Structure 1
Amino acid sequence: MFQLNDEFLKELGLDQLPEEQRKPFLQHIYSELELRVGERLSQGMSDAQLEEFSGIIDKRPGAVDDFLARHVPDLMQDPMFQRLVQVSGVPMDDPRLRDEFAATKWLEVNRPDYRDVVAAVLDELKREIVANRDVILAADSAASQAAA
């Protein structure tokens, strides 16, 4: 699992990025990654699949429950769910945990290659950032000088 943090910036050669620019830049990268992964994962999916996933992500009433009833009828005993509870430290009955699990399980059922897709898109994004590193640093330097 990757993390968008100072170590990520260092890996990209952007560790000189001013402190006040780091969080907004990382948030932008996260949003861009989420958008691109979503686009890539949706390719080849049926309208019904997209509608079902949308219901889970948007927490439409009944969507998570319906999906889990079909695919993980014994949720509390599911080893993957139990690991999620253990790692997160969140109580088993927390609806946020159930929603997160349902989204991940949906991807596992409908796009078992989703981890590979995320990794590929992240690598593409990293290459783009590295190719534009000087422009990014120059823009941030110019913005800092203008603010001074």
Structure 2
Amino acid sequence: MFQLDDNLLQELGLGSLPTTEKNKMLSHIYETLELRVGMRLADQMTDEQLDEFEKYIDNNDESGALKWLESNFPDYKSVVADELEKLKAEVRSQAPSIVEATIAELKPSDNDPQSSQPPIPPPAY
């Protein structure tokens, strides 16, 4: 259906992030997408459907949950695609700020007194 990988980050303008930050961003995108899709689908479910679906989630039965979704919400893939496109647009619009903030966070600051001080010599006995 879709891939959450380096190609996606390149497409979104986040290809210059360091690898560890890319992995964090991919995890964040996945978690956000999962939450948004879940909320949209939950809004369409009856209480009984919600209880039934939650049993799959509580039991970590991902394949059962997917089969249940395909059976009860055949259009769920379009919900995923729709939410992914919205999320991509949001991330793309913030990409320059994300890259700038990440690089600044990882770079030692010139104003950081610890990075500009010479090491303290060991005491002489």
In the TM superposition, 1:96-111 aligns within 5 A as 99-111=61-73
Superposed CA offset, 1:10-42 (max 9, x none) = 111111011221111111111101000100111
Equivalent residues of 2:4, 2:30 under 8 A apart:
yes
Could you list the structure 1 runs, at least 4 aligned residues long, displaced by more than 2 angstroms after superposition: none
Structure 1 partner of 2:77: 115
SS in 1 for 2:107: helix
How far apart, in 1, do the equivalents of 2:5 and 2:44 lie? 32
Determine which structure has more spread, i.e. the larger CA radius of gyration: 2
How far apart, in 1, do the equivalents of 2:98 and 2:55 lie? 37
- The unaligned stretches of length 5 or more in structure 1 are 60-95
How far apart, in 2, do the equivalents of 1:146 and 1:107 lie? 48
Structure 1 partner of 2:27: 27
Task: After TM superposition, give the deviation of residue 143 of structure 1 in Å.
Answer: 0.7
Task: After TM superposition, give the deviation of residue 141 of structure 1 in Å.
Answer: 1.1
How far apart, in 2, do the equivalents of 1:41 and 1:49 lie? 10
How far apart, in 2, do the equivalents of 1:144 and 1:100 lie? 36
Letter of the 1:120 counterpart = D
User: Structure 2 length as normaliser, TM-score?
Assistant: 0.82
Task: After TM superposition, give the deviation of residue 145 of structure 1 in Å.
Answer: 1.3
How far apart, in 1, do the equivalents of 2:5 and 2:78 lie? 21
Equivalent residues of 2:13, 2:96 under 8 A apart:
no
- The unaligned stretches of length 5 or more in structure 2 are 110-114, 116-125
User: Structure 1 length as normaliser, TM-score?
Assistant: 0.70
